[in-house]
């Protein structure tokens, strides 16, 4: 549940219940202004929840712009009645609706305002009715409503408001408290209803946006700050200790977590201020009178937060972890989004590469690419994903490395759809893409660089080793389903029962003896130890060649070999 | 007919199949409450019916797909936003299903459905 206001004593709540028992137009206005502020503060959190790479724009931004338009319209009019204020909001939201979530939001306001027609003020019962009408209107706008979205959240809110009134709630404040709580629960539940959310490990972004809008109103009632994006009080469960090591900067050597019961009430503002002097990444969680503090501090001051908190109450638990060690462990398994790419100079030749695995992405990053798109054999990025990877770059000159036969087309399509000067180097394998990177010059003449990179892809041979998914005979090579097969430059070249056997055979076919360098990228199914055994065998057989071994992390292909 | 040649043979995807994917994407797109006949003479607009490609026209050549969507939009929504969302959803779903780029999605708003005016 939302912890907004749980540190407030019950007498203050009673005051608020009385103050917001029945609200008028100006009060509604204030609440809406607060909701826009709070939504804007949390905009990036909502944006980060996008699962579809649909160029709809970001949900958080769309909802902020929609609410901004609603607020502008509302502020232009000097209405006193809730009816007229709500109509102004609905009208503004309609005019400024952006994206799917924005349109739905405008429909919610439209339904909400309709119920308030002719009312000067709004009480709990009317609010519950209006929320029901909002839900009704929103659901009418789509033929097949998808559950697990903002629609579901609006439904759960309406249901909760109705139940609250039936249970005797008479204050708008009470309804607000209950629906913020219901919205939170509903949002947390969305992955259960919509599998795509569960796969991505996120909650629905539109629903989360709606939650922030409502929570902003509640925070305003409590007179809590609306502009604290980094330090925010969260439910205990929301502090994900594993995720906390993202983006570790210098001076964040230790992670310290302290659970404690404060003596008396905790002055949060003071608490934050003191912590900020000690370290960064501050998070504070609260539940049942117990607090959890999370902070990153520099070396040798890992005990400072503990000493400080000891003065505030009773400490029940302390956890200290060395982040530098944790970080070393993480680099092995981080996602592509955690990669640090080279910053781009305005106007330079930028390269966007498609990489099928984290290790390969890291190789491309080390060679200086500006952007990496995750994709490969079975997960081709869409034209739009490719397009959006470079559209915002501060340069007009973009070189694409599709690194897969199936992606070349989408890359070409993306090149046609933009006003930028885009050249697609027709690399059909990762080794080709890497070879091309060696011919890249950030500040060279665009045409010449593109030509050199294209020429470079023919200088390597690519061997890919995978498992046959079905029995087939092509070009005189037979293989059974489940056998290991080797492809040389995209063509089936040999098959066999073991990885080692196929690898050695394909190196022979590729005439590796007459070459200079073999680079091995091992896939996600192989361990470093497997890779070592295989590479030892190559060294034995091809002692005169240089061999490099990298973790590629690609799916499906146990090995990708580059022979040059 | 959109086709692709693999090691094992040809794979062809008919415009009707693509239209079904597009219609399905549109039906889940917020603000779209029905599909309409392209031909005004046909006149009557339907709420999404059993015909899975009603109101969708697909032109597919060897390597490009163009889709025309004829839709009915809920009165009281911002039509430009709804239309943009439909175009995005259709392109995404079709590209995701076929692994082929969609050249264009044209959205024709043929009418509005009025449930209530305010």
pLDDT digits (tens, 9 = 90+) for B73-101: 998 899 999 999 999 889 988 988 887 88
Q: What is the pLDDT of residue B52?
A: 63
pLDDT tens track for A156-197: 999 999 999 999 999 999 999 999 999 999 999 998 998 888
Residue of B nearest to A416 (CA): B103
Least confident of A90-104, A443-457, A488-502, B32-46: B32-46
Task: Kindly report which listed range (A167-176, A349-358, A369-378) carries the lowest average pLDDT score.
Answer: A369-378
CB atoms within 10 A of CB B20: 17
Question: Considering only CB atoms, which chain B residues are within 8 Å of A55?
Answer: 88
* Distance in Å, alpha carbon of A133 to nearest chain B alpha carbon: 12
Q: Is it the case that residue B5 has pLDDT exceeding 80?
A: no
Long-range interactions of A111-116: CB distance < 8 A, separation 24+: A111/A135, A111/A136, A111/A137, A111/A138, A112/A86, A113/A83, A113/A86, A113/A87, A113/A89, A113/B118, A114/B116, A114/B118, A116/A82, A116/A83, A116/A86, A116/A87
Please state which of the ranges A51-60, B22-31, B106-115 shows the lowest mean pLDDT: A51-60
At A245 the pLDDT is 35
CA separation, residue A139 to residues A126, A142, A212, A213, B81 (Å): 20, 6, 21, 19, 17
| pLDDT at position A29 | 94
Average pLDDT over residues A374-403: 80
Task: Show residues of chain B in contact with A97, CB under 8 Å.
Answer: 77-78, 81
pLDDT of res. A250: 57
Given a contact cutoff of 8 angstroms between Cβ atoms, the answer to whether A406 and A377 are in contact is yes
Question: Residue A376 and residue A357: Cα distance in Å, rounded?
Answer: 8
Q: Does B101 touch chain A (CB under 8 A)?
A: yes
CA neighbor of A65 nearest in space, from A91, A87, A28, A96:
A96
Q: Which residue has the higher pLDDT, A117 or A467?
A: A117
pLDDT score of A414 more than 60: yes
What is the count of residue pairs from A and B with beta carbons less than 8 Å apart? Answer: 97
Position B113 scores a pLDDT of 87
- Give the pLDDT confidence of A264-304 residue by residue, as tens digits: 767 776 787 788 888 877 777 665 567 777 788 888 888 88
Q: Do B95 and A53 touch (CB under 8 A)?
A: no
Beta-carbon separation of A103 and B82 below 8 A: yes
Q: What percent of chain A has pLDDT over 70?
A: 87
Q: Do A99 and B100 touch (CB under 8 A)?
A: no
For A143, the closest of B8, B48, B88 (CB atoms) is B48
Cite the beta strand spans of A250-303 per DSSP E: 254-262, 280-287, 290-297
pLDDT in tens, A434-485: 999 988 988 888 889 999 999 999 889 999 998 887 777 777 788 787 888 8
CA distance B116 to B112: 11
Average pLDDT over residues A325-347: 57
CB contacts of A383 in chain B (<8 Å) are 95, 101-102
Res. A329 pLDDT band, cuts 50 70 90: very low
> What Å distances lie between residue A198 and A51, A152, A182, A251, B29, CA to CA?
10, 16, 20, 35, 20
Q: Measured between beta carbons, which residues in chain A are less than 8 angstroms from residue B104?
A: none
The ipTM is 0.70
Q: Do A97 and B34 touch (CB under 8 A)?
A: no
Residue A236: pLDDT band (50, 70, 90) is very low
* Nearest of A117, A110, A129 to residue A82 by alpha carbon: A117
In chain A, which residues have their Cβ closer than 8 Å to the Cβ of B30?
Answer: 100, 103-104, 141-142
**The pair of three-digit structure tokens given for residue A85, joined into one six-digit string:** 């204020």
- The per-residue pLDDT of chain B, averaged, comes to 81
Backbone angles phi, psi at B34, to 5 degrees: 180, 170
* Residue B59 dihedral angles phi and psi, to the nearest 5°: -110, 115
Low-confidence winner among A44-53, A214-223, A243-252, B106-115 (lowest mean pLDDT) = A243-252
Contact state of B81 with A97 under an 8 Å Cβ cutoff: yes
- A388: chain B residues, CB-CB within 8 Å: none
Nearest neighbour of A141 by CB, restricted to B33, B95, B101 = B33
Q: Which of B63, B81, B86 to mutate to test the interface with A (most CBs of A within 10 A)?
A: B81
Which residue of B lies nearest to A96 if distances are taken between CA atoms?
B78
pTM: 0.50
Interval A397-408 mean pLDDT: 87
Q: What is the DSSP string of B40-98?
A: TTT---BSS-SSTTTTEEEEE-SS-EEEEEEEEEETTS-HHHHHHHHHHHHHHHHHHHH
DSSP E strand boundaries for A418-545 = 421-424, 461-467, 472-474, 477-479, 484-488, 491-496, 517-522
What pLDDT, on the 0 to 100 scale, is given for residue B98? 83
Strand pairing partners for A563?
A461, A518
Contacts of B51 (CB under 8 A, 6+ apart): none
Nearest-5° Cα angle at B70, A64 to A58: 20
Closest CA to A73 of A108, A36, A124, A46: A36
pLDDT digits (tens, 9 = 90+) for A15-72: 888 889 999 999 999 999 999 999 998 887 787 776 655 545 578 888 999 999 999 9
Residue A315 CA to residue A59 CA, distance in Å, equals 40
- The DSSP bridge pattern shows strands A546-551 and B2-5 to be unpaired
Average pLDDT, chain A: 82
Judge: A107–B88 Cβ closer than 8 Å, yes or no: no
Give B 36-55 residues with CB within 8 A of chain A. 47-48
Write down the pLDDT at residue A157: 96
Q: What is the pLDDT of residue A165?
A: 95
Distance of CA A157 to the CA centre of its chain: 26
Please state the rounded mean pLDDT for residues B9-26.
87
| Confidence (pLDDT) at A235 | 34
Q: Which residue has the tokens 């295989």?
A: A534
Higher per-residue pLDDT: B67 or A292: B67
| Helix (H) or strand (E) segment spanning residue A133 | helix A124-140
Q: How far is B27 from chain A (nearest CA, A)?
A: 6
CB proximity B84 to A under 8 Å: yes
A396 pLDDT higher than 50: yes
Strands (E), A452-512: 461-467, 472-474, 477-479, 484-488, 491-496
> Which spans in A52-123 are helix H?
59-76, 82-96, 99-116
**Looking up tokens 């990298």, which residue turns up?**
A550
Q: Which of B10, B77, B100, B17 is nearest to A408 (CA)?
A: B100
How far A99 CA sits from the closest chain B CA (Å)?
A: 6
B114 shares contact with chain A (CB less than 8 Å): no
Q: Which residues contact A130 (CB under 8 A, 6 or more apart)?
A: A86, A111, A112, A113, A114, A115, A116, A122
Q: Which residues on neighbouring strands pair with residue B10, listed in sequence order?
A: B5
In whole angstroms, how far apart are CA A66 and each of A8, A75, A97, B117?
32, 14, 5, 21
Could you tell me the two tokens for A540?
């034995």
Measured in angstroms, the CA of B92 and the nearest CA of chain A are apart by: 6
Phi, psi of B24 (to 5 degrees): -65, -40
- Looking at residue A1, what is its pLDDT? 37
| CA–CA gap between residue A486 and residue A492 (Å, rounded) | 6
CB atoms A54 and B63 under 8 Å: no
For residue A556, CA distances in Å to A91, A379, A560 come to 53, 11, 10
Closest CA to A57 of B84, B79, B93: B84
Is the model more confident about A178 or about A241?
A178
Question: What pLDDT score does A540 carry?
Answer: 87
Residue A544 backbone dihedrals phi, psi, to 5 degrees: -85, -5
**A181-195, A242-256, A349-363: which has the highest mean pLDDT?**
A181-195
């Amino acid at each position: 549940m939302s912890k907004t206001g749980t540190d407030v004593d019950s007498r203050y709540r009673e005051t608020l219940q009385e103050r917001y028992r029945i609200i008028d137009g100006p009060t509604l206005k204030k609440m809406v202004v607060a909701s826009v502020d709070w939504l804007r503060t949390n905009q990036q959190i909502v944006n980060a929840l996008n699962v579809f790479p649909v160029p709809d724009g970001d949900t958080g931004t769309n909802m902020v712009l929609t609410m901004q338009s609603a607020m502008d319209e509302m502020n232009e009019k000097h209405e006193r009645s809730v009816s007229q204020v709500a109509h102004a909001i609905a009208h503004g939201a309609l005019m400024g609706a952006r994206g799917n979530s924005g349109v739905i939001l405008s429909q919610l306001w439209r339904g909400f305002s309709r119920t308030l027609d002719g009312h000067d003020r709004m009480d709990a019962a009317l609010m519950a009715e209006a929320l029901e009408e909002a839900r009704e209107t929103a659901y009418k706008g789509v033929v097949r409503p998808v559950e697990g979205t903002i629609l579901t959240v609006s439904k759960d809110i309406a249901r909760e408001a109705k139940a609250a009134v039936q249970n005797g709630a008479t204050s708008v404040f009470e309804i607000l408290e209950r629906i913020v709580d219901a919205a939170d629960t509903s949002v947390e539940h969305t992955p259960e209803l919509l599998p795509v959310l569960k796969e991505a490990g996120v909650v629905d972004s539109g629903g989360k946006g709606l939650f922030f809008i409502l929570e902003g109103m509640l925070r305003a009632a409590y007179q809590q700050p609306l502009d604290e994006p980094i330090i925010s009080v969260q439910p205990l469960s929301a502090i994900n200790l594993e995720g906390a090591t993202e983006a570790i900067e210098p001076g964040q050597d230790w992670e310290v977590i302290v659970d404690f019961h404060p003596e008396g009430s905790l002055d949060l503002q003071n608490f934050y201020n003191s912590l900020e002097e000690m370290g960064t990444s501050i998070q504070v969680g609260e539940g049942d009178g117990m607090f959890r503090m999370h902070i990153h501090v520099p070396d040798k001051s890992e005990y400072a937060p503990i000493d400080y908190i000891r003065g505030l109450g009773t400490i029940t638990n302390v956890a200290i972890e060395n982040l530098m060690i944790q970080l070393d462990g993480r680099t092995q398994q981080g996602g592509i989004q955690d990669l640090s790419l080279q910053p781009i100079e305005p106007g330079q030749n930028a390269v966007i590469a498609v990489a099928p695995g984290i290790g390969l992405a890291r190789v491309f990053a080390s060679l200086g690419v500006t952007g990496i798109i995750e994709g490969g054999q079975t997960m081709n990025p869409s034209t739009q994903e490719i397009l959006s990877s470079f559209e915002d770059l501060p340069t007009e000159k973009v070189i694409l490395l599709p690194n897969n036969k199936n992606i070349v087309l989408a890359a070409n399509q993306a090149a046609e759809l933009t006003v930028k000067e885009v050249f697609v180097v027709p690399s059909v394998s990762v080794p080709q893409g890497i070879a091309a990177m060696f011919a890249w010059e950030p500040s060279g003449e665009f045409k010449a660089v593109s030509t050199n990179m294209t020429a470079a892809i023919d200088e390597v041979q690519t061997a890919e080793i995978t498992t046959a998914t079905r029995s087939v005979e092509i070009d005189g090579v037979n293989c059974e389903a489940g056998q290991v097969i080797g492809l040389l430059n995209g063509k089936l070249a040999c098959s066999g029962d073991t990885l080692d056997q196929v690898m050695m055979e394909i190196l022979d076919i590729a005439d590796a003896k007459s070459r200079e360098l073999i680079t091995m990228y091992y896939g996600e199914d192989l361990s470093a130890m497997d890779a070592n055994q295989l590479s030892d065998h190559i060294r034995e057989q091809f002692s005169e060649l240089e061999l490099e071994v990298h973790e590629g992390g690609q799916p499906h292909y146990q090995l990708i070999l580059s022979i040059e | 007919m959109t086709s692709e040649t693999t090691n094992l043979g040809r794979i062809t995807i008919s415009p009707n199949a693509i239209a079904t994917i597009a219609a399905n994407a549109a039906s889940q797109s917020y603000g779209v409450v029905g599909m309409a006949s392209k031909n005004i003479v046909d006149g009557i607009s339907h709420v999404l019916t059993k015909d899975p490609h009603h109101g969708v026209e697909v032109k597919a050549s060897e390597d490009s797909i163009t889709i025309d969507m004829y839709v009915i939009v809920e009165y009281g929504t911002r039509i430009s936003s709804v239309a943009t969302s439909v175009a995005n959803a259709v392109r995404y779903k079709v590209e995701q299903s076929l692994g082929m780029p969609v050249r264009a999605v044209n959205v024709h708003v043929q009418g509005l459905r009025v449930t209530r005016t305010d």
